[in-house]
Amino acid sequence: MIENRMFFIVALSILSLGNAQEENANLILSYPEESEISFFQYPEGTNAYAIYNSQAETTNMYPEQLLESIISATNQDWVDYNTLGGAEKASKKKQSHFDKVKTMDKANNYFELAHKLTLEVGGVSTAIIKFFTHFQETETLSGVSVMQFVDGRWQKTSQTSLSTLSIVVMRMKPEVLKGIVLLNSDDPNIKALAERVSRDGVLDLSLLEDEFRSWYSPEKDETKIELYKDPRTW
């Protein structure tokens, strides 16, 4: 009888501790980071092709290699391998997607690389690459990929705190992004923007996010959109 009771208490205890672990988020915390940031514009015609035939061939030692690995992936394990957090975090692809990748004309299906931001987030090297997708029978689309260097290789990730920055990286004209990161533009409109989004010569992401929102809210600001947004992006 006592043993049964003990078992019940222990079971309850394990259940209780287990349940505590699954609880929903109940607090929002943030950490202010100052980071070095670099901007790179790819030379025209820099494309990432599906150059790999198997996951074993990939090393993902460079951000661009990860994009080549992503476009080459022909099975879910490979997609998981490319993603930080593995299967738990990776997007699930259908077999029809992999069949398409296996048979696609590699020369005519690729990512055209536009520009790249690199920074440190919590001591982890992070890259945000803007690209355009070129897939046959599909219109060209703009895209962006956030990746981090973890366990000796670059892996795709979706950092909540970088989601707005990644959209900004995708939508901004390269010369505008370069001007606000390096603070070296002679263009008066870019200089004015750089002043609005910087404090003491340092780009402040929260100001940049506010600025970005002001393009669309409270009402669409066509002048700013014309000046700063890349017309090729959605």
Tokens of residue 65, six digits: 């290699």
Judged by CB under 8 A, which stretch of 16-24, 74-82, 133-141, 218-226 contacts another protein?
Answer: 16-24
Q: Give the interface size with another protein as a residue count (CB under 8 A).
A: 73
Site string for another protein, 46-85 (x = CB under 8 A): x-xx-x---------xxxxx--x---------------xx
Nearer to another protein, 157 or 228 (CB): 157
Closest among 202, 142, 128 to 171, alpha carbons compared: 142
Cβ atoms 193, 180 nearer than 8 A: yes
Nearer to another protein, 27 or 56 (CB): 27
Q: What are the residues whose beta carbons fall under 8 Å from the beta carbon of 66, sequence distance 6 or more?
A: 60, 82, 145, 147, 153, 154, 155, 156
Tell me how far apart the alpha carbons of residues 48 and 129 are, in angstroms, rounded to a whole number: 12
Interface residue with another protein, options 1, 4, 23, 136 (CB under 8 A):
23
Give the nearest distance from C-beta 75 to another protein in angstroms. Answer: 20
Tell me how far apart the alpha carbons of residues 208 and 194 are, in angstroms, rounded to a whole number: 9
Query: Among residue numbers 132 through 151, which ones bind another protein (CB under 8 A)?
Result: 148, 150
Tell me how far apart the alpha carbons of residues 99 and 58 are, in angstroms, rounded to a whole number: 20
Interface residue with another protein, options 28, 44, 95, 219 (CB under 8 A):
28
Query: Among residue numbers 175 through 234, which ones bind another protein (CB under 8 A)?
Result: 181-183, 199, 201-206
Q: What are the residues whose beta carbons fall under 8 Å from the beta carbon of 177, sequence distance 6 or more?
A: 39, 115, 117, 168, 169
Give the nearest distance from C-beta 55 to another protein in angstroms. Answer: 17
Residue 91 as a binder of another protein (CB under 8 A): the answer is no
Residue 20 as a binder of another protein (CB under 8 A): the answer is yes
From the number of C-beta atoms within 10 Å of its C-beta (0-12, 13-18, 19+), residue 8 rates as exposed
Judged by CB under 8 A, which stretch of 15-23, 94-102, 132-140, 221-229 contacts another protein?
Answer: 15-23
DSSP letter assigned to residue 24: P
Tokens of residue 134, six digits: 């070129």
Cβ atoms 59, 122 nearer than 8 A: no
Nearer to another protein, 21 or 217 (CB): 21
Give the nearest distance from C-beta 13 to another protein in angstroms. Answer: 4
Nearer to another protein, 167 or 183 (CB): 183
Give the nearest distance from C-beta 195 to another protein in angstroms. Answer: 14
